[in-house]
Structure formats: structure tokens, C-alpha cells
């Protein structure tokens, strides 16, 4: 077999970034979740993982911050092929529920279609948790790649089983604190509500870039002492009034405990970076701002224990969203590995 050359174009081999590392030898594992059953506006995020994998072949593996970044052993968990058909079938059911709501009809208390959707979503949560725990037991860090933002719950549950205390850094245009949005218990708009109510090991939720949320969510943010929300309005106001991004990043990271899970909805970025995502919102963070924040977090002395990237949706004949998503994914992976290695080395001294 020809030795891997990071300077050559990526050759499709079934792995993200065309990296040569097996699951067994990898330190970071990417689990794909092609699922967008509960998408409330524009579907398509189930195509995200495949589109990102294809786009990742074009990502140059050199990084200015991480020396020999291509040597970071990122493994690709084989996609559960049944998910494509399960997603398609369950999405059709969800569209019936959404259509009824758009017609002004109320949901029945014991709606069989709704129960079937919630059951299918819970099955996915259990499967992802089991797969994540398998890799965590081997000392690996798990990345969930969506799909819509409902899919990381199983990974968050797994992190809660492995760690007695951790915080979540939530990058998103939305607060995602709605209870059973549109009747879907495991809605993409309910991921953080579910995490806070199902995973008691979460001691802090720091939200970043939020700019589209409802009164109920605002009430939850005000009432729950675990939540610190940096709205996009606040971040921009601080910037306009002279507070540097470096200072703001320091304050954001300071709110988090020693162990951190990153949940990243791509719509936390400016819409020109993710024009085809399911629920785009004006405003948002630049690629450079996110890169700087993640690098500061990697050097903060706090350990990244799990992460996800969701809501990347490719447009018809448009690879831009997937190109951005692939580069965000690469940064998340190599910075997390750098972070873990740095902390491990400090602990050995």
C-alpha cells in the first residue's frame, strides 16, 4: 500500500479527510447521523454527513496552530445504512404532523403518528449512546456529525455516564430550549432542553451567538442558574463598544467547568457561510471568530470530552455549505486532540 502523503489530493477511502487511520488506531471517532426527521423549516440536513465527507477530500491538512495536524488520528465510524431509510420513512410521518399544525389543527394527546416519531427518535438516541460509550471505553473522543440538531443527545448522555460533572458550550443561532417543539419530544429545537432535563451531570450551559428564540426560552434562560447565554446582540454590542474578541472569549470560557462538551449548530455562523442550513438567521459569528474561540478553548486548561457538529445542509449543486462544514469539523477534531494531549502531558509532570 502506498504511504499516505498529506500533500497530495485526498483519495476517497471511506474516511473523512481521506485519512488513513483505522477505527482501532484512532483517537477521535466521527459517528455520522444522517437524520433530519424533526426539521421544522427546510429539510436536507440528513445529506450533511455524506456531503461533508466528499468536501473533506479538498481540505488541506496543514494547520498553522497544530503541528503535523494530519497526524491526528481521526477515524470514521461506518454509517448505519438503515438510517437513510428510517429517516425517510419517519420524516414523511413528521411532515403529516407539521402539515396539520400549519392548518391550525391541534395535536391529539395520544397521537399514534407522533408516538411513532418520538419512538424512532429515542431509538436513534439509544443507538448513538451505545456506540459512543463503546468508543469512550477505549479512551477515544466521539464526534457526532448530523443531521439535524436532535442527534447529539445520545452522545451527551454517554458523556454524562462517563463524567460526573461537565459543561456544554453551545454555538447556535437558536436557544434550542423548547419543550417538545411541534409535539416532537426529540425535536432539533429541544436538544438543550432535553439535555438539561435528562443529564444531571451537566453543571453549566454556555450559549453563544443566539439570536432567535421565544419567550418561554427566555424565561428558562433567566430562571436556570446553569445557563449563561451570550446573545449575538450582546456580542456585537460589546464589539461595537470596544471590547476585543479575545477578551470576550476569555469571559465565555471562564463560565465553563473543567470538562466541556461542544455542541455546534452550523447556523451559529453568519448565513453566508451556511446558506442552505435548515433555519438560517441574520447575524452570527465569522469563521475567524469561531476559530479563535476554539483555539483559546483548546489552550484553556479545560478538557474537551465530547462534541458534535449539526445542521449542515448541502444545496442543489452547491458545495459551499459542505466545504465550510468540513473545515469546521477539521478544526474541531484537531483542536480537541491538541487539547487532550496538552492536558495529558501536564498531568504527567
What's the CATH number where 206 sits? 3.40.800.10
Residues 6+ positions from 102 with CB-CB distance below 8 Å = none
Reduced to 3 states (helix: H, G, I; strand: E, B; else coil), residue 210 is strand
pLDDT tens track, the chain, 349 positions: 468 999 998 999 999 999 999 999 999 999 999 999 999 888 899 999 999 999 999 999 999 999 999 999 999 999 999 999 999 999 999 999 989 888 888 877 678 999 999 999 999 999 999 999 999 999 999 999 999 999 999 999 999 999 999 999 999 999 999 999 999 999 999 999 999 999 999 999 999 999 999 999 999 999 999 999 999 999 999 999 999 999 999 999 999 999 999 999 999 999 999 999 999 999 999 999 999 999 999 999 999 999 999 999 998 888 999 999 999 999 999 999 999 999 999 887 6
What distance lies between CA 144 and its chain's CA centroid? 7
Closest CA to 29 of 168, 132, 163, 151: 132
Reduced to 3 states (helix: H, G, I; strand: E, B; else coil), residue 142 is strand
Is there a domain that residue 1 lies in? no
The confidence score (pLDDT) of residue 109 equals 64
Is there a domain that residue 268 lies in? yes
Residues 156-188 pLDDT 10s: 999 999 999 999 999 999 999 999 999 999 999
Is there a domain that residue 41 lies in? yes
Q: Can you read off the three cell numbers belonging to residue 23?
A: 477505527
Q: How far apart are CA 98 and CA 95, in angstroms?
A: 5
The confidence score (pLDDT) of residue 3 equals 83
Number of domains in the chain: 1
DSSP letter (8 states) at residue 263: E
Residues 226-266 pLDDT 10s: 999 999 999 999 999 999 999 999 999 999 999 999 999 99
**Whole domain around residue 264: which residue ranges?**
22-348
Is there a domain that residue 322 lies in? yes
User: Positive or negative CA dihedral for 204, 207, 212, 215?
Assistant: positive
Closest CA to 37 of 111, 119, 156, 131: 119
User: Is the full-model pTM beyond 0.85?
Assistant: yes
Is there a domain that residue 9 lies in? no
Residues 6+ positions from 339 with CB-CB distance below 8 Å = 297, 298, 299, 303, 304
Is there a domain that residue 152 lies in? yes
Q: What is the largest CA-CA distance in the chain?
A: 64
Is there a domain that residue 89 lies in? yes
Q: How far apart are CA 22 and CA 15, in angstroms?
A: 9
E strands, the chain, in order: 28-33, 74-76, 141-146, 166-171, 202-210, 227-231, 259-265, 303-310
Is there a domain that residue 298 lies in? yes
Q: What is the DSSP string of 295-310?
A: HHHHTSSPEEEEEEEE
Q: Can you read off the three cell numbers belonging to residue 343?
A: 492536558
Amino acid at each position: 500500500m502506498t504511504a499516505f502523503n498529506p500533500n497530495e489530493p485526498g483519495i476517497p477511502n471511506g474516511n473523512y479527510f481521506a485519512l488513513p487511520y483505522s477505527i482501532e488506531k484512532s483517537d477521535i471517532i466521527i459517528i455520522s447521523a444522517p437524520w433530519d426527521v424533526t426539521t421544522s423549516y427546510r429539510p436536507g440536513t440528513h445529506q450533511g454527513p455524506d456531503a461533508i465527507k466528499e468536501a473533506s477530500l479538498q481540505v488541506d491538512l496543514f494547520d498553522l496552530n497544530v503541528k503535523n495536524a494530519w497526524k491526528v488520528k481521526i477515524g470514521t465510524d461506518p454509517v448505519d445504512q438503515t438510517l437513510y431509510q428510517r429517516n425517510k420513512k419517519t420524516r414523511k410521518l413528521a411532515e403529516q404532523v407539521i402539515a396539520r399544525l400549519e392548518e391550525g389543527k391541534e395535536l391529539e394527546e395520544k397521537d399514534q403518528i407522533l408516538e411513532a416519531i418520538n419512538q424512532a427518535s429515542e431509538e436513534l438516541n439509544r443507538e448513538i449512546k451505545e456506540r459512543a460509550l463503546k468508543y469512550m471505553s477505549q479512551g477515544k473522543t466521539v464526534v457526532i456529525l448530523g443531521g439535524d440538531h436532535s442527534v447529539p443527545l445520545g452522545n451527551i448522555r454517554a458523556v454524562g455516564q462517563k463524567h460526573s460533572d461537565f459543561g456544554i458550550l453551545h454555538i447556535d443561532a437558536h436557544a434550542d430550549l423548547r419543550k417538545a417543539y411541534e409535539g416532537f419530544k426529540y425535536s432539533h429545537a429541544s436538544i438543550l432542553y432535553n439535555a438539561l432535563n435528562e443529564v444531571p451531570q451537566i453543571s453549566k450551559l454556555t450559549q453563544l451567538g443566539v439570536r432567535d428564540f421565544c419567550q418561554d426560552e427566555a424565561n428558562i434562560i433567566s430562571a436556570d442558574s446553569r445557563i449563561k447565554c451570550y446573545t449575538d446582540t450582546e456580542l456585537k454590542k460589546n464589539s461595537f463598544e470596544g471590547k476585543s474578541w479575545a477578551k470576550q472569549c476569555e469571559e465565555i470560557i471562564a463560565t465553563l467547568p473543567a470538562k466541556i462538551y461542544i455542541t455546534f449548530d452550523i447556523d451559529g455562523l453568519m448565513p453566508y457561510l451556511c446558506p442552505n442550513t435548515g433555519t438560517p438567521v441574520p447575524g452570527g459569528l465569522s469563521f475567524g471568530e469561531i476559530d479563535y474561540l476554539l483555539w483559546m478553548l483548546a489552550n484553556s486548561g479545560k478538557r474537551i470530552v465530547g462534541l458534535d457538529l449539526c445542521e449542515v445542509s448541502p444545496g442543489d449543486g452547491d458545495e459551499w455549505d459542505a466545504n465550510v462544514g468540513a473545515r469546521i469539523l477539521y478544526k474541531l477534531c484537531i483542536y480537541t486532540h491538541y487539547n487532550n494531549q496538552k492536558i495529558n502531558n501536564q498531568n504527567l509532570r
